[in-house]
Structure 1
Amino acid sequence: MLQYVQPGLVGLIDGTVSSLAPIFAAAISSSSRTAFLVGMATALGAGVSMGWSEALSDTGKTTGRGSAIVRGVITGGMTTIGGIFHTLPFLIPSLRLSLLIALIVVAIELFVIAWVRNRFLHVPMKNSLLVVTLGGAIVLAIGMLLGVS
Structure 2
Amino acid sequence: MARKDNLQTEPCPVARALEVIGDRWALLIVRNAFDGMTRFGDFQKDLGIAKNILSDRLHKLVAQGVLEAVPAADGSAYQDYVLTTKGEALFTIIVSLRQWGEEYLFDKNEPRSVLVERASGKAIPKLEPRSANGRKLNGGNTLVRKIDS
TM-score by length of 1: 0.31
> Which is richer in helix?
1
Q: Which has the higher contact order (CA 8 A, sep 6+)?
A: 1
